[in-house]
Structure 1
Amino acid sequence: MSHDLSTAVPPSRRSSPGKRSRKAPKKRRTGRIVLLSLLVLALVVGGTGYWLYSDLNGNISGVDLDKAIGDDRPEKLPTSGQNILVLGSDSRAGDNADLGTGKVAGARSDTALVMHIPEGRTRATAVSIPRDTLVTRPECTKSDGSKIPSAKRVMFNSVYSLAGPACVVKTVEEMSGVRMDHFMEIDFSGFKGLVDAIGGVTVTVDKPIHDKSSGLELSAGTHKLNGTQSLAFVRTRHGIGDGSDLGRIGLQQQFMIALLGEVKKQDLLGSPTKTFKIADSLTSSLTTDSDLASLKSLAEFSRSMHGVDPATMETIMLPVRYDTADPNRVVAAEPQATQLWKAIRTGGEIPESAKKSPAQGG
């Protein structure tokens, strides 16, 4: 949903090996945004008629993971639980200048979460994979049919821009041994049209926000944002806190909660025209695996998540430690990472020891 901050931040802004802060960062809340997005979709689709399916189906892009990855994949969970790889990107952003990124070609993704939903689907855990994690990228087939060779010690965030979402799925499966039942890519810029369709979203900020990069100018207080302002709101980071990505994630969560509240207020059954506009904007921002790439399948999956409360979802970070050769990068910490993936693979409880990361002081 934004440009790669790891390359956008000048070297002078990065921590040096001797000055790197060991303070534990705040837990990421992006997984809750994803659940809220699914709930919004279920609410909207519930107000549409079946006659709209053919029109809205064309909005959803699908990726055939089995064809792109092949048969050599991890086994599925032994239970009815689900594992979903969720990416946030600007791949459908069109003119990147509208996103405040300037004339930057290609697509970016710096949010990656493995959402684990145990049997019963009443709770969920989101494992955030830091974008600066050094991983082994497997050999992958790109969308044009060409192949890229495997490579060691590549930054996780680079896999998407180089080889596309199917390669990210393959990379995650090989590093974790966990089968991804589904894949979902969310283009947050697509919410620009959604916000305008529902008449705006109201947010309250405690402190003024002045961000020249995103173009957002807000005084402290309550504001009703239109689509353009909302896009700037979820993308701003320089005008809040310490200017890091963590502050932006907090704004994204606040915005999605407000968006969900606005959608709930809409008279979806009484206004077919407005309902169609909302559903059209929301489905246009989604790319999924081919099994979910229809409005009916996606709506059924969204409704199956109703038992999960976004407010109680546990969000943890993949246990990592600072890389000895490059302290500005991290690598999976052992044995914590192995314990974490094993618990997800077997459908068991994640031990507390697997939630602690040396890079977080745990």
Structure 2
Amino acid sequence: MNPFVKVGSTVSRPREDRAGGTGSPVRSGSAARHTDDPAVGPARHLGVARGMPGWLKIGTAVVSILLVGVIAFGAYWAVRLQGNISKAALGAGGEKTEGAVDNSRDRLQILILGSDTRDGKNSQYGGASDSTGYGHSDVMMLLDISADNKRVNVVSFPRDLLVDMPKCTDQESKKEFPAQKNVMINAAMSEAGIGCAVDTVNKLTGLEIDHFMMADFNSVKELSNTVGGVDVCISDAVYDPDSGLRLPKGTSKVQGEQALAFLRARHAFADGGDLGRIKGQQGFLSSLVRKIKDDGTLSNPAKTLQIADVVTRNLTIDEGMASIPTLLTVGNRLKDIDVSKVAFVAVPTVPAASDPNRLQMAEPAASQLFAAMRKDVDLTDPTATPSPSASASVSASAEPAPSETAAAYDKTLQPITVANGSGTPARTQEIIKALTAGGFTQLGQLAARPVAATAVYYGTGFADVAADVAALLGIPATQVLPAAGVSGVQVYLGSDLVGGNPGGDAPVALPKDIVNQTAGDVVCQQANPFLITR
């Protein structure tokens, strides 16, 4: 027998006697792949394929096709959704004091804006003259998600609210806009862009917003259609000619143009003012949350993709949130929250002293709300113990906040002045906000020379008030001193930066009715008596 067997161009040595237990010889790679000689062993591909059952061949082919299809489908949606997104800068030059946020586990504050721009798809709602610049923020809500994903606050700011707007720089044109006092809050975005609206809310609340999301009129129509309509309720049949909203008494399902009319309606609810409009919007969003939860939408991939497509097509967001994985991460945090812990709140307001057709913040209620939010208080249950995973500023061993003991005096009548000798101008407003949140409203400011140590001085008869002020601000009792030349109480701030931390262990006073409703409440809106139809 020929000692070599020629297979094509490959030469292979026949197998030797392995009776002695020697291992398999090293074979040529090409022989192993292509030889038909059984002495060489089965070909790794061709030989196996010939022996593969028909059903396995078909199954392998089907699985391969499905795998390729799934990959292609996922890539298509990822590219499509990412391509939908528009981006803008988060701020307009305001100072940042916090580091980057972890979107998957940190407390998140997202400013939700609705633009009244009439560009593009929105041209049917008016001409360009109806909205200027970037458009006004027709809706402004602060979405506050707790670190443990158990609570959400949705705080609405009336568009007629008069505020102080900080200096802003348009991040596209680089044009600077000076700080302004007593202007409508919805004007911030129209001049210097979304970032200016973010900086204005930061200044107003003392919080630092992590992200923003801005949608236009069209997003409401498409989203309401995608979920199959949203149930809303009103006390009487109503017709609002300005928005075009016409509803019968009781519960109705609205979608498309009618859903948009419900959210835009300015005169249909309550007394026809902005606060009635806010309650209508909150009722709509509460119903939308319940519907999405009840339908299991966030657990249905196909439905979720539909909603994601609708939302991203009409959305502008900041760079830090402008990716599909990030949006999915944030959305995933919301899916298991109890609807009774989704609190809808409106910033407390009263008619403005300078213009009764506008609003100003009602004090001390507004400052109390913002102080509670800075401390990450559960607005639905202010006495609840924060969970260990809540904001790092709250101790994990904190006890439930006791009820506030009534003072032996009326806090609103006590004269308190703040003299800033710290060398840090912003400290004055920090202290005033803290005092206001604690219920003191008769506040003044004094020019002061620089000093090293903070102190609380008090005049005759004000020792108890001074002690309470010091406790509220976290100033040691040893730095509370009588002073013959002081009328009332004076907080003299030093460069030691002591004080201004009412978050320590002091309970936060909150108006009992601060929460308008939760997402679990089914609320019927009160119709404006002047627009009721028969």
Q: Taking structure 2 as the reference length, what is the TM-score of the superposition?
A: 0.49
Counterpart position of 1:80: 106
The match for 1:353 among 485, 499, 509 is: 509
Query: Structure 2 vs 1, CA of residues 270 and 250 (structure 1 numbering), >3 Å: closer, same or farther?
Result: closer
After superposition, the C-alpha distances for 1:6-61 in whole angstroms (9 at most, x for unaligned) are xxxxxxxxxxxxxxxxxxxxxxxxxxxxxxxxxxxxxxxxxx94530111112222
Query: Structure 2 vs 1, CA of residues 250 and 99 (structure 1 numbering), >3 Å: closer, same or farther?
Result: farther
How far does residue 185 in structure 1 lie from its aligned partner after superposition?
Answer: 2.0
Counterpart position of 1:36: none
Query: Rg: which structure is higher?
Result: 2
Counterpart position of 1:305: 334
Counterpart position of 2:496: none
Counterpart position of 1:23: none
How far does residue 123 in structure 1 lie from its aligned partner after superposition?
Answer: 0.9
How far does residue 293 in structure 1 lie from its aligned partner after superposition?
Answer: 1.3
How far does residue 244 in structure 1 lie from its aligned partner after superposition?
Answer: 3.1
Query: Structure 2 vs 1, CA of residues 69 and 50 (structure 1 numbering), >3 Å: closer, same or farther?
Result: farther
Counterpart position of 2:460: none
The match for 1:104 among 106, 109, 130 is: 130
Query: For the residues of structure 2 that align with 1:315 and 1:173, how far apart are their CA atoms?
Result: 19
Query: Structure 2 vs 1, CA of residues 122 and 153 (structure 1 numbering), >3 Å: closer, same or farther?
Result: same
1:158 and 2:182 aligned: no
SS in 1 for 2:164: strand
How far does residue 300 in structure 1 lie from its aligned partner after superposition?
Answer: 0.7
* AA in 2 matched with 1:164: G
Query: For the residues of structure 1 that align with 2:255 and 2:366, how far apart are their CA atoms?
Result: 42
The match for 1:126 among 154, 158, 161 is: 154
The 5-angstrom pairing of residues 70-219 of structure 1 reads 72-75=95-98, 80-91=106-117, 94=120, 96=122, 98-99=124-125, 104-106=130-132, 107-142=135-170, 143-197=172-226, 200=229, 207-219=236-248
Query: For the residues of structure 2 that align with 1:283 and 1:204, how far apart are their CA atoms?
Result: 29
User: Higher mean Cα deviation, 249-258 or 157-166?
Assistant: 249-258
SS in 2 for 1:69: coil
The 5-angstrom pairing of residues 172-321 of structure 1 reads 172-197=201-226, 200=229, 207-220=236-249, 225-256=254-285, 259=288, 261=291, 265=295, 277-320=306-349
After superposition, the C-alpha distances for 1:78-112 in whole angstroms (9 at most, x for unaligned) are 99322222222234763555337896233222432
* AA in 1 matched with 2:185: F
8 Å CA contact retained: 1:117, 1:124: yes
Query: For the residues of structure 1 that align with 2:345 and 2:232, how far apart are their CA atoms?
Result: 27
After superposition, the C-alpha distances for 1:165-216 in whole angstroms (9 at most, x for unaligned) are 1001112222333211122223353122234445555656553332222233
Q: Taking structure 1 as the reference length, what is the TM-score of the superposition?
A: 0.68
SS in 2 for 1:88: strand
Query: For the residues of structure 2 that align with 1:335 and 1:204, how far apart are their CA atoms?
Result: 33
Counterpart position of 2:452: none
How far does residue 301 in structure 1 lie from its aligned partner after superposition?
Answer: 0.7
User: Higher mean Cα deviation, 151-160 or 292-301?
Assistant: 151-160
How far does residue 151 in structure 1 lie from its aligned partner after superposition?
Answer: 1.7
How far does residue 297 in structure 1 lie from its aligned partner after superposition?
Answer: 0.7
Counterpart position of 2:77: 52
After superposition, the C-alpha distances for 1:205-251 in whole angstroms (9 at most, x for unaligned) are 55333222223334446655452233223323444543334444444
User: Higher mean Cα deviation, 51-60 or 308-317?
Assistant: 308-317
8 Å CA contact retained: 1:99, 1:231: no
SS in 1 for 2:212: strand
* AA in 2 matched with 1:289: D
Query: For the residues of structure 1 that align with 2:141 and 2:361, how far apart are their CA atoms?
Result: 15
Paired residues, what number?
309
Query: Structure 2 vs 1, CA of residues 271 and 212 (structure 1 numbering), >3 Å: closer, same or farther?
Result: same
Query: For the residues of structure 1 that align with 2:208 and 2:325, how far apart are their CA atoms?
Result: 24
The structure in which a higher percent of residues are helix is 1
8 Å CA contact retained: 2:118, 2:124: no
Query: Structure 2 vs 1, CA of residues 279 and 92 (structure 1 numbering), >3 Å: closer, same or farther?
Result: farther
Query: For the residues of structure 2 that align with 1:283 and 1:289, how far apart are their CA atoms?
Result: 13
Query: Structure 2 vs 1, CA of residues 331 and 245 (structure 1 numbering), >3 Å: closer, same or farther?
Result: closer
Identity of aligned residues (%): 37
Counterpart position of 1:35: none
Query: For the residues of structure 2 that align with 1:118 and 1:211, how far apart are their CA atoms?
Result: 38
8 Å CA contact retained: 2:111, 2:209: yes
Query: For the residues of structure 2 that align with 1:320 and 1:299, how far apart are their CA atoms?
Result: 35
* AA in 2 matched with 1:69: G
Query: For the residues of structure 2 that align with 1:279 and 1:165, how far apart are their CA atoms?
Result: 22
1:62 and 2:91 aligned: no
5+ residue gaps, structure 1: 1-47, 358-362
Query: Structure 2 vs 1, CA of residues 315 and 241 (structure 1 numbering), >3 Å: closer, same or farther?
Result: closer
How far does residue 65 in structure 1 lie from its aligned partner after superposition?
Answer: 2.0
The structure, 1 or 2, with the larger RCO (C-alpha pairs under 8 Å, 6+ apart) is 1
Query: Structure 2 vs 1, CA of residues 229 and 290 (structure 1 numbering), >3 Å: closer, same or farther?
Result: same
5+ residue gaps, structure 2: 1-72, 383-506, 514-534
RMSD: 4.0
After superposition, the C-alpha distances for 1:99-151 in whole angstroms (9 at most, x for unaligned) are 37896233222432333333312012333333333322111111322111112
8 Å CA contact retained: 2:84, 2:313: yes
Query: For the residues of structure 1 that align with 2:227 and 2:179, how far apart are their CA atoms?
Result: 45
Query: For the residues of structure 2 that align with 1:295 and 1:335, how far apart are their CA atoms?
Result: 41
SS in 2 for 1:242: coil
